[in-house]
Amino acid sequence: MLFGQGVSQSTLQTVRAFQSVANDGVMLQPRLIDSYITPDGVEEKVPAKEPRQIVSADTAKQVRDILESAVTEGQIKEAGLDGYRVGAKTGTSQSPCDDGTAGFCGFTASMVGMAPMDDPRFIVEVVLQRPKGDIYGISNGPVFRSVMSQALRTYNVPPSKGQPVRLPQYAK
């Protein structure tokens, strides 16, 4: 089990890292605006930044295999979706206090994943700030599964083909 201290990155930073893994190691710049209309009525496209290779395609594939194994063979089976190959990672950390006092005031529980693993189309991250109850009994899996399945249905993403990757440490 992994455990972190405090907040060290934003949800967008986490999702960008996963997007790079899903995209064979190529990081894309997030964009909120594709184009705008000038006062003269002319559409102006906002240029996209050049994608950059941040890890090799081979390394990205290895990470995808590990993420998929965490769902199919590991501790987060609740992130799985019927008909789709899914890869995901959970995270737990202590949350700093909102009032500026020293120390920590609760936990942050997260899950981030991608699907379908044979051709990743979507990244979903679920973050729970200071959930109530035993932190080890709290699961983001049902929310992750609901959001991911809705995205796949909404965009008519066909089910996965082939079998999930089985890494040697999980092979039976």
158: helix, coil or strand? coil
DSSP annotation string for 10-59: -HHHHHHHHHHHHTTTEEPPP-S-SEEE-TTS-EEEPPPPPPEE-S-HHH
Q: Which CATH architecture has domain 4-28+49-154?
A: 3-Layer(aba) Sandwich (3.40)
pLDDT tens digits along 83-105? 999 999 988 887 777 887 777 78
126 within 8 A of 144, measured Cβ to Cβ: yes
Q: Global pTM?
A: 0.83
Spans of all domains in the chain: 4-28+49-154
Rounded Cα distance between 172 and 23, Å, is: 30
Rounded Cα distance between 95 and 156, Å, is: 37
pLDDT tens digits along 20-50? 999 999 999 988 899 999 999 999 999 999 9
Locate tokens 């899903």: which residue? 22
pLDDT of 137 higher than 70: no
Would you state the pLDDT for residue 16?
94
